[in-house]
Amino acid sequence: MSYRNIAIIAHVDHWKTTLVDALLQQSWSFWEHAAVETCVMDSDDQEKERWITIYAKNTSVQYKDCKINIMDTPWHADFWSEVERVLKMVDSVCLLVDAYEWPMPQTKFVLKKSLELWLKPIVIINKIDKPAARPDEVHDMVFDLFAQLWANDEQLEFPMIYAIWKDWIAIKELTDEKKDITPLFDLIMEHVPEAWNDTDAKLKMQVINLEYDNFLWRMWLWRVYEWKVKTWQTVTIIDNHWKTRTWKISKIYTTLWLNRKAEVDEWVAWDVITIAWIPDIFVWETICEDADQEPLPPITIDEATLSMEFLPNDSPFAWKEWKFVTSRNIRERLEKELETNVWLHVEFWWENSFTVYWRWELHISVLIETMRREWFELQVWAPKVVLKTDENWKVTEPMENVIVNVPEEFSWAVIEKLWKRKWEMTNMVTDNWLVSMEFTVPSRWLLWYKNVFTVDTKWEWILASSFSHYWEYKWEIAKRDVWSMISWETWKTMAYSLFWLQDRWPLFVEAATEVYMWMIIWEHLKWNDLVVNATKNKKLTNVRASWTDEALKLVAPRLMSLEEALDYIWPDEYVEITPESIRLRKIYLTENERKKHARK
């Protein structure tokens, strides 16, 4: 049997996971009458709710006499640590591109890493059945992208195929008959190199990914490069500093279709396997048969660009929805996350505060949302960018490449707002009443703009970004143009009070919502915080008049999601996160504390 290892990379909504569904269905990986969900590889609850791939996962299919290992990767640069490790274990990638949209920044980001590893991609142009599809133009755009990313001559001669994944169809030419996805299987067999194995060499394999199992403890995904591995074999683990230690392998698993834990006693190179019960091993380390063998090149991971403080919840409503509240609980949960999330970095310097370093807001919001569902209570500070000092002792900050797609009618409103924020436009193209603009912008300016951008374009927008480089620190800019209205009392909000206050700005709370002193309940248009009493009810008397008994019609409040709350807060505010609520609050909950710290 031969082996081929591929990864699938694409931008959001290009039907990447649907492609994996089609490959599994076409290879008869399910029982004939089995009820199969769509996007079967997105097994995590948040993946199903958000309709995105968060964690890199592997499966395999059988085609003729070949086992094809397939790695389903996240599309977003927030989870690049997941993608970066996977690309080290494959021999080719399938680049999925929409038949109408031009390549997005996330596509460029992942493709750049693939080309740097000398992988030769297979380009798949999907959704050719769309009325506005333009596959020939998209093919030219993809070629230009390859040239822009300095692809070599062999990579520029990439094989290409057209597809309609929702119907499980792939064709080599637009005029071919639309039957099934057999042409894609044939293209993989033709252009993806067969995984090699040196049977005369000693065992050598490298850790690619980490998993966690309540019964098997930590589990590691490996690519076996040379010879074979078997149970109860004594091996040597070599780290980046050539330090060695020995261990005995007790459990080996391989992937058979969706069964990712098929236990075996012995397995050869070419394939991808999972090993359990090695307690202290990390992604970049190599397992060899002897200590004198040379380790494989280490896997490097880009540094995080943002940081955030995690603290125990100390608000007046703490412990009301509790299960895990204390700093010890939060510390243990973050330590557990570090066992599998190799990109996350946590500093445990203070007893009641933990600094978490991460890539982008979606990366950290997934972790916080997971902790919410595990019944944790915590509060987080406003995110900050990670600054560096260059060789000339100048402060630098991370920069982003941003593509903005908006209808032409909203383009000037967007340009005006971006000009005020001093975004640097590098390109602008108008096509079919859709304006595409490219910018270079500091990460902190982008982090603070998404909510405003959504309002300006009335939700008819696409904004995608990817990390570019570090550059000299730009000037300060206001995070938002409005301040906050703060609750003066601890009680439930009354419809009577909200009715007379809602004309000032959209509310953040509904009627009969419990609030506490110095909790943020809506916005204030002027340049100062305004303290209001939203718990006051109408006084009842025996006198009635038609002009005093008005019907109270409340405007629907703006209930923030976790990502919106993290974008919204200022440095003097917290986001309070509990299993059932997301609240905004000031750090200091009394006027005396605020004045005391304002003088410092």
Find the range with the poorest average confidence among 96-110, 143-157, 426-440. Answer: 96-110
Sorted by where each starts, the structural domains of the chain and their CATH numbers stand as 2-191 (3.40.50.300), 204-288 (2.40.30.10), 306-372 (3.30.70.870), 388-472 (3.30.70.240), 483-598 (2.40.50.250)
At residue 580, the 3 state secondary structure works out as coil
Dist CA 356 CA 529 (whole Å)? 29
Confidence tier at 210 by pLDDT (50, 70, 90): confident
Residue 303 confidence (pLDDT): 72
Mean pLDDT over each residue of the chain, to the nearest integer: 81
The predicted pLDDT at position 474 comes to: 81
Listed in sequence order, the residues at least 6 apart from 2 whose beta carbon sits closer than 8 Å to its beta carbon are 65, 66, 67, 194, 195, 270
Per-residue pLDDT at 222: 67
pLDDT for 347 equals 92
For residue 600, what pLDDT is reported? 62
* CB contact at 8 A, 501 and 141: no
pLDDT tens readout for residues 285-311: 888 888 888 888 777 666 778 899 999
Q: Which tops the pLDDT comparison, 570 or 527?
A: 570
> CA-CA distance, 574 to 519, in Å (whole number)?
10
pLDDT score recorded for residue 262: 73
Instruction: Tell me the mean pLDDT in the region 528-552.
Output: 76
Residue 585 has pLDDT above 60, yes or no: yes
Q: How far is CA 477 from CA 112, 344, 386, 420, in A?
A: 32, 28, 17, 10
Cβ 41 vs Cβ 353: under 8 Å: no
**Would you say residue 103 has pLDDT above 80?**
no
Give helix 135-148 / helix 105-116 axis angle, nearest 10°: 50
* pLDDT of 320: 84
Amino acid at 241: H
C-alpha–C-alpha distance, residues 11 and 101, integer Å: 10
Grade residue 337 by pLDDT with cuts at 50, 70 and 90: confident
pLDDT of residue 197: 67
- Those residues with Cβ within 8 angstroms of residue 70's Cβ, 6 or more apart along the chain or in another chain: 6, 7, 8, 20, 23, 58, 59, 60, 61
Reported as a pLDDT band with limits 50, 70 and 90, residue 329 is very high
- Summarised one tens digit per residue, pLDDT across range 211-243 is 777 666 667 676 677 667 888 888 888 887 788
* Amino acid 584: pLDDT: 95
Residue 34 reports pLDDT greater than 60: no
Mean pLDDT of 143-167: 89
Characterize 247-270 residue by residue with b for buried, 16 or more Cβ atoms within 10 angstroms of its Cβ, and e for exposed: bebeebbbbbeeebeeeeeebbbb
Q: What tens digit of pLDDT does each residue of 349-394 get?
A: 888 899 999 877 777 888 999 999 999 999 999 888 889 998 888 9
Q: What's the pLDDT tens digit per position in 45-62?
A: 787 777 777 777 778 888
Distance CA 377, CA 583 (A): 12
pLDDT of residue 450: 66
Q: What is the pLDDT of residue 62?
A: 84
More confidently predicted of 200 and 320: 320
pLDDT at 461 over 80: no
